[in-house]
Structure 1
């Protein structure tokens, strides 16, 4: 066996080492080389473990760094991709905005061109005609004519409105211009026929017919022209209300106005009974429509009704002295008039005594005052008579 202290061989069973004097312990054979190798191995294992741990940490750090790098690369790729997509979208968006802007601009320009165009002016004028706004329509048709100076259509429309508003000279001028531009226009001839019929210019109407360029135009003169209505009472000054009857062709319908405006089917009143013209100034206008909705020229009559105060009443007997009961009779030639009187000399009013029949003269000295009030409320001058009755 060996001493555990000095390592020398000692006898088996020795308690103390004979070499070093140390207490001997029973141990297995000890090999220094093996011990060193074992120690070295133990040290190597520890170093190896440390190296392995270091390598593992480094590997983990590398993996972590790689993961970070990969993430950053992915982020860069995503950012690059997103930037690319954003760039494409911005390009598309700009193109869309550009296209929309171009479309809006084109529509805007087209709208401006349309609303200032000849055709729009003609449509606008026709719309005004349908609302009986003829003066406004005339101005619009003039604008249309400025845009297309050789237009027969605009001249005919303008001429018709001149006829309706009784501007016959202007109508003839513009329609003859249209005829010079198109000598075979049916519309121009129709308008001229209406013009010369409305203005009662038979000579020009016959001349127009004689110079008709073809059979189609000549047939226009065979068609019955819608004549303007006639009034049973001519315009003028009158002292009493007037009842006016309007007369037109059998198949025609009459529309009229009493405020000076030009009537039509929309704005006019349908004539069904005589029209009563009362106090003041009244302008009566009327127009006829035949069964084909063709209209005549406008008839115009102006009336001035000025009521006059009624004359004095007739009173019998007259002033005087009476010594027996006497009755006074009062009368007036004014149809529908009322008579009022007083016995005290005051001016009679509508609240005074109304005369119904002979009235007795009161006793004493009396002043009889009498007035006549007609159906329009006009009052005569005061008639006075002095009666003295002494029984």
Structure 2
């Protein structure tokens, strides 16, 4: 019991920094989840751009095309001068410049489809390519009406009517609450990185204090059995981790409401708890080497960022190469992300309870493996055998 009380007395000294980390990470997670959702929700929204149109034909067809684009975008007057056009694009006065050459209407009536117009756009902007598609679609539709026997005036009217119908795009969701479900998905998506960083930086220093030679010798002299001491430390670590993990769950409940404890939410909570076990085992293993604060920060960032980029936490697994994914299969975060992908509406991962339990089981195997290595390392640390050189390196760096 005395060891247990001492554990939390030491943890109180680290409480301010822990609260600071918790606050920063929670704010970042919530912001990332909502920002990611907002970007996905707006992917089908049409945008009005500043464009320039230089009409050298001055015909009914060219005027119809100008009027059509004027309804969608903002037309900025420009001189028919190459230098002026380039400057306007460079200084972002316009995003796109359309030049309608002389003879445009005649070529359109003759059925020609090549080199009807000339365009200038910035190479680093996708807006120009979107406008190319708009103009090309308009001209194709107009040619169809002209081929059917319509006059220029009628073809322009029918094309404009058709284009208005095309512009309206509806995004369908197959979920009851699309927005909140995806926000919850992003909230859990980033949790592994935060758990690894937070526990390694805040829990490991507490355990390292108990591993100092003088403190270990003093505790060995006390009337406390090694089993009792180990049990007290284990209970302290377990309660510490549960407190950190529970804090994130409570914050999720406050922010996302009842969705946190829906069926999908509970499955995500279980997934995060299993990953918490792995993170705890990893923290215990790191503490056996008694690194200083700088080394702890380095380990936390290398492991946390490495898993995040390799396993699909920061970069979606769908755009990672197959070879990289084959390597990341040997990391628990890969299986964690595979589960969260099943609950995101923007992922192609199909939902399967069989695969869910398979991924949970694999993460538990990682926990068992790392914990077994920790037990061996802890035993060797006490005997001062295999891990003496590493401990000397860490102690040298601290000096």
Question: What TM-score does the superposition give when structure 2 sets the normalisation length?
Answer: 0.16
Task: Report the structure, 1 or 2, having the larger strand content.
Answer: 1
- Looking at CA atoms only, which structure, 1 or 2, has the larger radius of gyration? 1
Q: Report which structure shows greater RCO (CA 8 Å, sep ≥6).
A: 2
Question: What TM-score does the superposition give when structure 1 sets the normalisation length?
Answer: 0.17
